[in-house]
Amino acid sequence: MPYVKVGKENSGDIELYYEDHGTGTPVVLIHGYPLCGTSWERQLPPLLAAGHRVVTYDRRGFGRSGQPTDGYNYDTFAADLRELVKHLRLRDFALVGFSMGGGEVARYLGRYGTEGVQRAVFISSVPPFLLKTSDNPEGVDPSIRDATLKAVQADRYAFFTQFYQNFYNTDVLLGKRISEEAVRSAWNTAAAASPWASVACVPTWFEDFRKDLARIDIPTLVFHGDADRILPISASGARTAKLVQGARLVTVKDGPHAINWTHAEVVNPELVKFLGA
């Protein structure tokens, strides 16, 4: 299995697990919390069929990547992505981020620029800035962040069960657009993640990406469901589309947070069209 070294903690290397399939224009898919690279299984076939080289990887602390107790912030996540890009010698590639993965897209482009990156895609993503402050009245009250953090610290397994109910809007879509087995698989993925990472990632959702988005000068596509209960479209996707010059917003009707799974038949054609053959 392929790994790339991105750091060191005491006597052990910190390595990211990745998969690299197909040929053609590279597309890097960045997963959300608390999943891993396998969560893109509904996007892989159409992207490969369209002639793309598709790279997925597991964020530090998740999936088959190393589980250190350090580096859970977006500067480090972006640096990890940079190491993967250099390791694979990617050029003229696209970055696609789902949920928490959209933060990597924003911070990577904000920190390293758009040289070598052709296109950017945000799917149900955390940017631009979720926390309510004096200059960001659209954000959520800090008490929501604190309550979420306490819930994960108290019993992350119970939190994941409740989280996925709103992740997939199971009260509406279970048995229609997602199965009990698929939800169980996602829960198992979350349970296998690092306990430390499960907690440490929560505050990162509230990082400020507004300056990062302002630096993006490449074609950008934003997907968001209008029934997203994790990251409401008005607080995230709609604002991201306005802050990135020339970005286009695709609103998925009745789409929950995980539209890349539940509404793949809407997301995939638009994604393939945007990325080109």
- Among the listed residues 39, 65, 99, 124, the single catalytic one is 99
Q: How many Å apart are CA 79 and CA 110, to the nearest integer? A: 12
Residue-level pLDDT at 238: 97
Q: What SS3 state is found at 107?
A: helix
Whether pLDDT at 277 is above 70: no
58 is catalytic: no
Task: Establish how many alpha carbons lie within 13 A of residue 72's alpha carbon, considering only the half-sphere containing its beta carbon.
Answer: 22
Query: Which residues are CB-neighbours of 139 under 8 A, at least 6 positions away?
Result: 129, 130, 131, 132, 133, 206, 235
171 is catalytic: no
Whether pLDDT at 1 is above 80: no
Quote the CATH superfamily of domain 3-275.
Answer: Alpha/Beta hydrolase fold, catalytic domain (3.40.50.1820)
223-252 residue pLDDT tens:
999 999 999 999 999 999 999 999 999 999
What letter would DSSP give residue 59?
P
- Among the listed residues 31, 52, 224, 257, the single catalytic one is 257
Whether pLDDT at 104 is above 90: yes
Residue-level pLDDT at 206: 97
99 is catalytic: yes
Angular region, 99: left φ>0, alpha ψ -120 to 50, beta rest: left
pTM above 0.85, yes or no: yes
Query: Which residues are CB-neighbours of 67 under 8 A, at least 6 positions away?
Result: 60, 61, 193, 194, 196, 197
Confidence of residue 138 (pLDDT cuts 50, 70, 90): confident
Residue-level pLDDT at 175: 98
143-180 residue pLDDT tens:
999 999 999 999 999 999 999 999 999 999 999 999 99
Interval 47-55 mean pLDDT: 98
Interval 8-20 mean pLDDT: 97
**What is the average pLDDT score of the chain?**
97
- Among the listed residues 125, 198, 228, 236, the single catalytic one is 228
Share of the chain above pLDDT 70, in %: 99
178-211 residue pLDDT tens:
999 999 999 999 999 999 999 999 999 999 999 9
Confidence of residue 18 (pLDDT cuts 50, 70, 90): very high
